[in-house]
Amino acid sequence: MNPKQLFLYLIFLSGCLTLAAQNSSRQLKQNPAPFNQDSLKKAMIRQQKIVARQMAAAEITCMAINTPDHRFGYYIFIDGQMVIAQKAIPAIPGNQGFISESEARKTAGLAIQKMKQGEMLPTISIPELQKLGITLPQ
């Protein structure tokens, strides 16, 4: 399985686990039969560890890009194959890019760090952007 196929498979698997957790929560509310939520959590943690090992062995790189609004975004590559095209600041409504290439690269670095820890697709919050010193739109 090539890196892009692996990435897509892991996104699919993550979505399935999320749906299973949501369905289990709904079932518990409707029918409080005994259910071990810890087993689902343990399965997700095991999967995250597997992904982290695979990502640690992969070459994950980024490239800053210019966006149509004369700002910046980034691409993330796993073993040379593009897996993320981020053309806007994550966690911010709208499509506004970063004000500098440096800010785009810092954010991409955080996303890569999260990927190496097994988070697929990495989410970045506003507090994380603020901690990085990213200029946020008003």
* Residues 79-112 pLDDT 10s: 999 999 999 999 999 999 999 999 999 999 999 9
Quote the pLDDT of residue 27.
55
pLDDT computed for residue 49 by the predictor: 87
Q: What are the tens digits of pLDDT across the range 31-76?
A: 555 557 788 888 888 888 888 888 888 999 999 999 988 999 999 9
Segment 5-26 shows an average pLDDT of 57
Q: What confidence score (pLDDT) does residue 92 get?
A: 94
pLDDT at residue 32, rounded to an integer: 53
Q: Cβ neighbours of residue 83 under 8 Å, at least 6 residues apart?
A: 3, 4, 7, 76, 77
Per-residue confidence (pLDDT) for residue 3, from 0 to 100: 64
- What integer pLDDT is reported at residue 62 of this predicted model? 97
